[in-house]
Chains A and B, each alone.
Chain A
Amino acid sequence: MQEEVFNELAELALKGSGQAIPKSKSYLIEARLAAIARREGFGTMADLVHCLKSRANPVFAAEVASALVSKDTCFFRDRDALKRVVDDILPKRLKASNTGRLKVWCAGGSTGQEAYSLAILLEDELPASLRGAKIDILSTDICKVSTETARVARYGHYEVQKGLSIHRLVKHFTRLETGQWEASEALRSRVSFRQHNLLERADGLGNFDVILCRNVLSGMARASRTKVIESVSKQMMPGGMILLGGGESVIGLTDKLEPARHFRGGWVAAGTANAEASAA
Protein backbone atom coordinates (compact mmCIF):
# COMPACT_ATOMS: atom_id res chain seq x y z
CA MET A 1 0.00 0.00 0.00
CA GLN A 2 1.36 3.42 -0.95
CA GLU A 3 2.38 5.54 2.02
CA GLU A 4 0.02 8.37 1.07
CA VAL A 5 -2.95 5.98 0.87
CA PHE A 6 -2.04 4.39 4.20
CA ASN A 7 -1.71 7.82 5.85
CA GLU A 8 -5.14 8.92 4.63
CA LEU A 9 -6.85 5.77 5.88
CA ALA A 10 -4.95 5.68 9.18
CA GLU A 11 -5.96 9.30 9.76
CA LEU A 12 -9.59 8.46 8.99
CA ALA A 13 -9.46 5.53 11.44
CA LEU A 14 -8.00 7.77 14.14
CA LYS A 15 -10.52 10.56 13.70
CA GLY A 16 -13.56 8.37 13.08
CA SER A 17 -13.09 5.56 15.56
CA GLY A 18 -10.00 6.38 17.63
CA GLN A 19 -8.05 3.46 16.20
CA ALA A 20 -4.27 3.65 16.02
CA ILE A 21 -3.16 1.53 13.09
CA PRO A 22 0.64 1.36 12.75
CA LYS A 23 2.25 1.19 9.31
CA SER A 24 3.46 -2.32 10.09
CA LYS A 25 -0.21 -3.40 10.17
CA SER A 26 -1.32 -1.82 6.92
CA TYR A 27 -2.50 -5.30 5.88
CA LEU A 28 -5.30 -4.87 8.46
CA ILE A 29 -6.61 -1.92 6.50
CA GLU A 30 -6.78 -3.93 3.27
CA ALA A 31 -8.46 -6.87 5.05
CA ARG A 32 -11.02 -4.75 6.88
CA LEU A 33 -11.94 -2.61 3.89
CA ALA A 34 -12.06 -5.46 1.34
CA ALA A 35 -15.85 -5.87 1.54
CA ILE A 36 -16.54 -2.15 1.06
CA ALA A 37 -14.03 -1.93 -1.79
CA ARG A 38 -15.66 -4.91 -3.51
CA ARG A 39 -19.17 -3.53 -3.05
CA GLU A 40 -18.21 -0.11 -4.39
CA GLY A 41 -16.14 -1.54 -7.24
CA PHE A 42 -12.80 -0.07 -6.16
CA GLY A 43 -9.85 -1.95 -7.63
CA THR A 44 -7.38 -0.57 -5.11
CA MET A 45 -7.29 1.21 -1.77
CA ALA A 46 -6.04 4.25 -3.67
CA ASP A 47 -9.37 4.30 -5.58
CA LEU A 48 -11.23 4.20 -2.28
CA VAL A 49 -9.18 7.06 -0.86
CA HIS A 50 -9.70 9.06 -4.05
CA CYS A 51 -13.46 8.60 -3.68
CA LEU A 52 -13.37 9.61 0.00
CA LYS A 53 -11.54 12.80 -0.87
CA SER A 54 -13.51 13.75 -3.95
CA ARG A 55 -17.02 12.80 -2.80
CA ALA A 56 -16.95 14.39 0.68
CA ASN A 57 -19.64 12.03 1.89
CA PRO A 58 -19.57 11.93 5.72
CA VAL A 59 -21.83 8.87 5.89
CA PHE A 60 -19.47 6.89 3.65
CA ALA A 61 -16.43 8.16 5.57
CA ALA A 62 -18.04 7.05 8.85
CA GLU A 63 -18.77 3.63 7.36
CA VAL A 64 -15.14 3.25 6.29
CA ALA A 65 -13.90 4.38 9.71
CA SER A 66 -16.15 1.89 11.50
CA ALA A 67 -15.07 -0.91 9.16
CA LEU A 68 -11.49 -0.26 10.24
CA VAL A 69 -12.29 -1.30 13.81
CA SER A 70 -11.41 -4.89 14.77
CA LYS A 71 -14.39 -7.26 14.72
CA ASP A 72 -12.51 -9.91 16.68
CA THR A 73 -14.83 -11.65 19.10
CA CYS A 74 -16.18 -15.07 19.98
CA PHE A 75 -18.66 -16.66 22.34
CA PHE A 76 -17.48 -16.87 25.95
CA ARG A 77 -14.29 -14.95 25.33
CA ASP A 78 -12.82 -14.92 28.85
CA ARG A 79 -15.46 -17.21 30.27
CA ASP A 80 -14.27 -16.75 33.88
CA ALA A 81 -14.86 -13.00 33.80
CA LEU A 82 -18.37 -13.42 32.37
CA LYS A 83 -19.16 -16.07 34.96
CA ARG A 84 -18.05 -13.79 37.78
CA VAL A 85 -20.24 -11.00 36.42
CA VAL A 86 -23.23 -13.30 36.75
CA ASP A 87 -22.22 -15.06 39.97
CA ASP A 88 -20.65 -12.20 41.94
CA ILE A 89 -21.11 -8.71 40.60
CA LEU A 90 -24.76 -8.75 39.55
CA PRO A 91 -25.99 -10.33 42.83
CA LYS A 92 -24.10 -7.64 44.77
CA ARG A 93 -25.58 -4.94 42.60
CA LEU A 94 -29.04 -6.41 43.07
CA LYS A 95 -28.64 -6.26 46.84
CA ALA A 96 -27.84 -2.56 46.54
CA SER A 97 -30.72 -1.92 44.14
CA ASN A 98 -34.17 -0.94 45.24
CA THR A 99 -35.77 -1.52 41.84
CA GLY A 100 -34.95 -5.21 41.25
CA ARG A 101 -33.62 -4.15 37.87
CA LEU A 102 -30.02 -4.40 36.64
CA LYS A 103 -28.46 -3.00 33.51
CA VAL A 104 -25.38 -4.27 31.70
CA TRP A 105 -23.67 -2.54 28.77
CA CYS A 106 -21.35 -4.37 26.38
CA ALA A 107 -19.51 -1.35 24.96
CA GLY A 108 -17.88 -2.15 21.64
CA GLY A 109 -19.79 -5.43 21.54
CA SER A 110 -19.06 -6.15 17.86
CA THR A 111 -21.41 -8.82 16.47
CA GLY A 112 -23.06 -9.63 19.78
CA GLN A 113 -21.32 -12.80 20.97
CA GLU A 114 -20.36 -11.29 24.35
CA ALA A 115 -23.93 -10.13 25.04
CA TYR A 116 -25.41 -13.47 23.99
CA SER A 117 -22.84 -15.32 26.14
CA LEU A 118 -24.07 -13.38 29.16
CA ALA A 119 -27.66 -14.13 28.15
CA ILE A 120 -26.80 -17.85 27.93
CA LEU A 121 -25.29 -17.78 31.42
CA LEU A 122 -28.42 -16.05 32.73
CA GLU A 123 -30.56 -18.74 31.09
CA ASP A 124 -28.46 -21.75 32.11
CA GLU A 125 -26.73 -20.84 35.35
CA LEU A 126 -28.79 -18.11 36.99
CA PRO A 127 -27.73 -17.88 40.64
CA ALA A 128 -30.60 -18.17 43.13
CA SER A 129 -29.77 -14.66 44.32
CA LEU A 130 -30.68 -13.24 40.90
CA ARG A 131 -34.06 -14.97 40.58
CA GLY A 132 -36.78 -12.49 39.84
CA ALA A 133 -34.37 -9.73 38.85
CA LYS A 134 -34.95 -7.93 35.58
CA ILE A 135 -31.58 -7.84 33.83
CA ASP A 136 -31.26 -5.77 30.67
CA ILE A 137 -28.22 -6.22 28.43
CA LEU A 138 -27.39 -3.54 25.89
CA SER A 139 -24.65 -4.13 23.33
CA THR A 140 -23.37 -1.28 21.20
CA ASP A 141 -20.91 -1.09 18.37
CA ILE A 142 -19.69 1.61 16.03
CA CYS A 143 -20.30 -0.56 12.98
CA LYS A 144 -23.78 -0.63 11.49
CA VAL A 145 -23.23 -4.02 9.85
CA SER A 146 -21.97 -5.59 13.10
CA THR A 147 -24.89 -4.14 15.04
CA GLU A 148 -27.34 -5.53 12.51
CA THR A 149 -25.62 -8.94 12.57
CA ALA A 150 -25.94 -8.94 16.36
CA ARG A 151 -29.60 -7.94 16.23
CA VAL A 152 -30.47 -10.62 13.65
CA ALA A 153 -28.55 -13.14 15.80
CA ARG A 154 -27.56 -15.45 12.95
CA TYR A 155 -24.07 -16.88 13.07
CA GLY A 156 -22.05 -18.98 10.68
CA HIS A 157 -20.42 -22.38 10.92
CA TYR A 158 -17.09 -21.04 12.24
CA GLU A 159 -18.56 -18.48 14.63
CA VAL A 160 -20.75 -20.95 16.52
CA GLN A 161 -17.89 -23.39 16.94
CA LYS A 162 -15.59 -20.99 18.74
CA GLY A 163 -16.27 -20.74 22.47
CA LEU A 164 -19.70 -22.34 22.36
CA SER A 165 -20.15 -25.95 23.47
CA ILE A 166 -22.23 -28.20 21.25
CA HIS A 167 -24.70 -28.65 24.11
CA ARG A 168 -25.30 -24.90 24.28
CA LEU A 169 -25.44 -24.62 20.51
CA VAL A 170 -28.27 -27.12 20.13
CA LYS A 171 -30.05 -25.79 23.21
CA HIS A 172 -30.01 -22.11 22.32
CA PHE A 173 -29.72 -21.99 18.53
CA THR A 174 -31.66 -23.34 15.58
CA ARG A 175 -29.98 -24.33 12.34
CA LEU A 176 -31.47 -22.54 9.35
CA GLU A 177 -31.62 -23.84 5.79
CA THR A 178 -28.86 -21.40 4.91
CA GLY A 179 -26.55 -23.33 7.26
CA GLN A 180 -26.49 -20.42 9.72
CA TRP A 181 -27.51 -20.84 13.35
CA GLU A 182 -30.08 -18.46 14.84
CA ALA A 183 -30.20 -17.58 18.54
CA SER A 184 -33.42 -18.48 20.35
CA GLU A 185 -36.12 -15.95 21.12
CA ALA A 186 -35.30 -16.42 24.82
CA LEU A 187 -31.76 -15.15 24.23
CA ARG A 188 -32.76 -12.40 21.85
CA SER A 189 -35.37 -11.05 24.25
CA ARG A 190 -32.66 -10.52 26.89
CA VAL A 191 -30.43 -8.35 24.71
CA SER A 192 -30.86 -5.12 22.77
CA PHE A 193 -28.48 -3.51 20.32
CA ARG A 194 -27.65 0.01 19.23
CA GLN A 195 -25.10 1.54 16.93
CA HIS A 196 -22.89 3.86 18.96
CA ASN A 197 -19.47 5.41 18.51
CA LEU A 198 -17.60 5.27 21.83
CA LEU A 199 -15.86 8.54 20.98
CA GLU A 200 -19.22 10.26 21.25
CA ARG A 201 -21.26 11.11 24.36
CA ALA A 202 -23.18 8.15 25.70
CA ASP A 203 -25.77 10.00 27.82
CA GLY A 204 -28.58 8.72 25.64
CA LEU A 205 -27.80 5.11 26.50
CA GLY A 206 -28.62 5.50 30.19
CA ASN A 207 -26.71 4.31 33.27
CA PHE A 208 -25.43 0.83 33.97
CA ASP A 209 -24.54 -1.43 36.88
CA VAL A 210 -21.85 -3.20 34.89
CA ILE A 211 -20.07 -1.98 31.78
CA LEU A 212 -18.01 -4.46 29.79
CA CYS A 213 -15.52 -2.53 27.68
CA ARG A 214 -13.27 -5.44 26.93
CA ASN A 215 -10.52 -5.48 24.32
CA VAL A 216 -11.73 -2.13 23.02
CA LEU A 217 -9.13 0.29 24.37
CA SER A 218 -6.11 -1.75 23.31
CA GLY A 219 -6.45 -0.87 19.62
CA MET A 220 -6.94 2.83 20.28
CA ALA A 221 -4.63 5.83 20.36
CA ARG A 222 -3.92 7.16 23.85
CA ALA A 223 -6.05 10.30 23.44
CA SER A 224 -8.95 8.20 22.17
CA ARG A 225 -8.64 5.81 25.10
CA THR A 226 -8.89 8.73 27.51
CA LYS A 227 -11.93 10.10 25.71
CA VAL A 228 -13.66 6.73 25.62
CA ILE A 229 -13.02 5.84 29.25
CA GLU A 230 -14.16 9.28 30.44
CA SER A 231 -17.34 8.98 28.39
CA VAL A 232 -18.07 5.37 29.35
CA SER A 233 -17.42 5.90 33.06
CA LYS A 234 -20.02 8.70 33.14
CA GLN A 235 -22.64 6.03 32.41
CA MET A 236 -21.65 3.90 35.40
CA MET A 237 -24.21 3.91 38.21
CA PRO A 238 -22.92 4.72 41.72
CA GLY A 239 -21.34 1.51 42.98
CA GLY A 240 -21.13 0.11 39.45
CA MET A 241 -18.12 -1.46 37.74
CA ILE A 242 -16.33 -1.25 34.41
CA LEU A 243 -14.61 -4.39 33.16
CA LEU A 244 -11.67 -4.13 30.82
CA GLY A 245 -9.96 -6.89 28.87
CA GLY A 246 -6.89 -8.76 30.06
CA GLY A 247 -3.86 -6.47 30.00
CA GLU A 248 -5.95 -3.32 29.60
CA SER A 249 -5.75 -0.53 32.16
CA VAL A 250 -6.92 3.04 32.68
CA ILE A 251 -3.92 4.04 34.77
CA GLY A 252 -2.62 7.30 33.35
CA LEU A 253 -5.81 7.83 31.35
CA THR A 254 -8.19 9.00 34.06
CA ASP A 255 -8.13 9.63 37.80
CA LYS A 256 -11.85 8.96 38.11
CA LEU A 257 -11.47 5.16 38.35
CA GLU A 258 -9.47 2.79 40.49
CA PRO A 259 -8.98 -0.99 40.37
CA ALA A 260 -11.70 -3.06 42.01
CA ARG A 261 -10.30 -4.98 44.97
CA HIS A 262 -11.95 -8.31 44.29
CA PHE A 263 -12.25 -8.40 40.54
CA ARG A 264 -9.21 -8.52 38.30
CA GLY A 265 -9.85 -6.25 35.31
CA GLY A 266 -12.65 -4.45 37.15
CA TRP A 267 -12.60 -0.68 37.75
CA VAL A 268 -14.79 1.28 40.13
CA ALA A 269 -15.23 5.00 40.87
CA ALA A 270 -12.13 6.48 42.52
CA GLY A 271 -12.35 6.40 46.31
CA THR A 272 -14.90 3.56 46.43
CA ALA A 273 -12.75 0.42 46.12
CA ASN A 274 -12.51 0.09 49.92
CA ALA A 275 -16.28 0.29 50.23
CA GLU A 276 -16.57 -2.32 47.48
CA ALA A 277 -14.09 -4.52 49.34
CA SER A 278 -15.96 -4.31 52.64
CA ALA A 279 -19.25 -5.12 50.91
CA ALA A 280 -17.68 -8.25 49.36
Chain B
Amino acid sequence: MKTCLIVDDSRVVRKVAARIVRDLKFDVLEAGDGADAMRQCRQKMPDAILLDWNMPVMNGLDFLRALRREEGGKHPLVVFCSIENDAEHINEALSSGADEFIMKPFDADILESKFAEVGLV
Protein backbone atom coordinates (compact mmCIF):
# COMPACT_ATOMS: atom_id res chain seq x y z
CA MET B 1 0.00 0.00 0.00
CA LYS B 2 1.26 3.49 -0.87
CA THR B 3 1.91 5.99 1.91
CA CYS B 4 0.84 9.62 2.06
CA LEU B 5 2.28 12.11 4.51
CA ILE B 6 -0.18 14.87 5.36
CA VAL B 7 1.60 18.03 6.51
CA ASP B 8 -0.62 20.71 8.01
CA ASP B 9 -0.58 22.61 11.30
CA SER B 10 -4.36 22.29 11.59
CA ARG B 11 -5.39 19.07 13.28
CA VAL B 12 -8.85 19.44 11.76
CA VAL B 13 -7.50 19.69 8.20
CA ARG B 14 -5.21 16.70 8.81
CA LYS B 15 -8.14 14.68 10.14
CA VAL B 16 -10.40 15.51 7.19
CA ALA B 17 -7.64 14.96 4.63
CA ALA B 18 -6.57 11.69 6.29
CA ARG B 19 -10.06 10.28 6.00
CA ILE B 20 -10.23 11.12 2.28
CA VAL B 21 -6.73 9.81 1.57
CA ARG B 22 -7.41 6.55 3.45
CA ASP B 23 -10.49 6.09 1.25
CA LEU B 24 -8.10 6.31 -1.72
CA LYS B 25 -6.27 3.29 -0.23
CA PHE B 26 -3.23 5.03 1.21
CA ASP B 27 -1.50 4.47 4.53
CA VAL B 28 -1.52 7.87 6.19
CA LEU B 29 1.22 9.61 8.19
CA GLU B 30 0.83 13.07 9.70
CA ALA B 31 3.10 15.98 10.51
CA GLY B 32 2.23 19.36 12.06
CA ASP B 33 5.00 21.38 10.39
CA GLY B 34 7.77 21.16 7.80
CA ALA B 35 10.49 20.19 10.27
CA ASP B 36 8.46 17.27 11.62
CA ALA B 37 7.69 16.25 8.02
CA MET B 38 11.41 16.32 7.15
CA ARG B 39 12.25 14.08 10.13
CA GLN B 40 9.68 11.56 8.94
CA CYS B 41 10.89 11.73 5.32
CA ARG B 42 14.48 11.06 6.43
CA GLN B 43 13.29 7.88 8.14
CA LYS B 44 11.28 6.75 5.13
CA MET B 45 10.22 8.64 2.03
CA PRO B 46 6.45 8.47 1.49
CA ASP B 47 4.94 8.02 -1.98
CA ALA B 48 2.86 11.18 -1.72
CA ILE B 49 2.90 14.34 0.38
CA LEU B 50 -0.10 16.64 0.84
CA LEU B 51 1.53 19.87 1.91
CA ASP B 52 0.20 23.04 3.53
CA TRP B 53 1.96 26.36 2.86
CA ASN B 54 1.72 28.42 6.06
CA MET B 55 2.99 26.49 9.07
CA PRO B 56 5.12 27.30 12.14
CA VAL B 57 8.76 26.16 12.50
CA MET B 58 9.22 25.38 8.80
CA ASN B 59 6.71 26.40 6.16
CA GLY B 60 5.65 24.23 3.25
CA LEU B 61 7.75 25.98 0.62
CA ASP B 62 10.98 25.73 2.66
CA PHE B 63 10.20 22.09 3.39
CA LEU B 64 9.61 21.33 -0.29
CA ARG B 65 12.86 22.98 -1.42
CA ALA B 66 14.80 21.09 1.26
CA LEU B 67 13.03 17.82 0.45
CA ARG B 68 13.95 17.98 -3.22
CA ARG B 69 17.65 18.32 -2.21
CA GLU B 70 17.50 15.26 0.06
CA GLU B 71 18.63 11.85 -1.11
CA GLY B 72 15.48 10.17 -2.44
CA GLY B 73 13.64 13.47 -2.06
CA LYS B 74 12.57 13.56 -5.68
CA HIS B 75 10.53 10.38 -5.23
CA PRO B 76 7.43 11.65 -3.38
CA LEU B 77 4.74 13.27 -5.48
CA VAL B 78 3.97 16.52 -3.69
CA VAL B 79 0.53 18.07 -3.83
CA PHE B 80 0.57 21.55 -2.33
CA CYS B 81 -2.62 22.44 -0.54
CA SER B 82 -2.99 26.07 0.35
CA ILE B 83 -5.24 29.04 0.85
CA GLU B 84 -2.62 31.07 -1.11
CA ASN B 85 -4.26 30.49 -4.45
CA ASP B 86 -3.18 33.29 -6.78
CA ALA B 87 -1.12 32.47 -9.87
CA GLU B 88 2.08 33.89 -8.32
CA HIS B 89 1.95 31.56 -5.31
CA ILE B 90 0.95 28.60 -7.47
CA ASN B 91 3.86 29.19 -9.85
CA GLU B 92 6.26 29.54 -6.93
CA ALA B 93 5.10 26.19 -5.55
CA LEU B 94 5.46 24.51 -8.94
CA SER B 95 8.91 25.95 -9.59
CA SER B 96 9.98 24.76 -6.12
CA GLY B 97 9.11 21.18 -7.01
CA ALA B 98 5.39 20.70 -6.36
CA ASP B 99 3.66 18.28 -8.74
CA GLU B 100 0.12 19.53 -8.17
CA PHE B 101 -1.69 22.23 -6.24
CA ILE B 102 -4.99 22.20 -4.40
CA MET B 103 -6.63 25.48 -3.54
CA LYS B 104 -8.29 25.34 -0.13
CA PRO B 105 -11.04 24.69 0.75
CA PHE B 106 -11.23 21.30 -0.93
CA ASP B 107 -13.45 18.26 -0.89
CA ALA B 108 -12.98 14.54 -1.59
CA ASP B 109 -13.67 14.97 -5.32
CA ILE B 110 -11.01 17.64 -5.71
CA LEU B 111 -8.42 15.65 -3.78
CA GLU B 112 -9.12 12.53 -5.80
CA SER B 113 -9.02 14.53 -9.06
CA LYS B 114 -5.64 16.04 -8.14
CA PHE B 115 -4.20 12.70 -7.06
CA ALA B 116 -5.39 11.30 -10.40
CA GLU B 117 -3.64 14.13 -12.26
CA VAL B 118 -0.28 12.96 -10.94
CA GLY B 119 -1.03 9.26 -11.30
CA LEU B 120 -1.46 8.49 -7.61
CA VAL B 121 -4.89 6.91 -8.15
Contacts and interface: CB of A to CB of B under 8 A. Distances in A.
Interface string B88-117: 001100100000111101110110011001
Contacts of B105: 157
A20 to B, nearest CB: 26
B112 to A, nearest CB: 9
Interface string A38-78: 00000000000000000000000000000000000010000
A174 B1 CA distance: 38
A161 B110 contact: yes
What is the interface residue range for chain A against chain B?
A: 10 to 19
B71 interface: no
A223 to B, nearest CB: 34
A271 B94 CA distance: 51
Greatest chain B CB density within 10 A among A157, A163, A166, A169 is at A166
A166 B100 contact: yes
B57 interface: no
A121 to B, nearest CB: 15
A220 B102 CA distance: 35
A166 B90 contact: yes
Query: Most chain-B Cβ atoms within 10 A of its Cβ — which of A157, A161, A170, A174?
Result: A161
Given A161-B102, A175-B85, A175-B86, A167 B94 contact: yes
Contacts of B91: 170
Nearest to A165: B117
Interface in B1-59: none
A75 B85 CA distance: 19
Contacts of B109: 162
A164 B12 CA distance: 27
Nearest to B109: A162
Which of B91, B114, B117 lies at the interface centre, i.e. has the most chain A CB atoms within 10 A of its CB? Answer: B117
Interface in A138-183: 157-158, 161-163, 165-167, 169-170, 174-175
B101 A163 contact: no
A158 B100 contact: no
A165 B91 CA distance: 13
Interface string A170-207: 10001100000000000000000000000000000000
A158 B113 contact: no
A74 to B, nearest CB: 8
A161 B90 contact: no
B64 to A, nearest CB: 14
Given A166-B90, A170-B90, A175-B85, A157 B103 contact: yes
Nearest to A163: B113
A109 B103 CA distance: 26
Contact of A162 (B85, B101, B110): B110
Interface of B: 85-87, 90-91, 94, 100-103, 105-107, 109-110, 113-114, 117
23 contacts: A74-B113, A157-B105, A158-B107, A158-B110, A161-B102, A161-B103, A161-B106, A161-B110, A161-B114, A162-B110, A163-B113, A165-B117, A166-B90, A166-B101, A166-B114, A166-B117, A167-B94, A170-B87, A170-B90, A170-B91, A170-B94, A175-B85, A175-B87
Which 6 pairs, one residue from A and one from B, show the smallest C-beta to C-beta distance? A166-B101, A161-B110, A165-B117, A162-B113, A170-B87, A166-B100
Given A161-B106, A162-B110, A170-B91, 20 more contacts: A74-B113, A157-B103, A157-B105, A158-B107, A158-B110, A161-B103, A161-B113, A161-B114, A162-B109, A163-B113, A165-B100, A166-B100, A166-B101, A166-B114, A166-B117, A170-B87, A170-B90, A170-B94, A174-B87, A175-B85
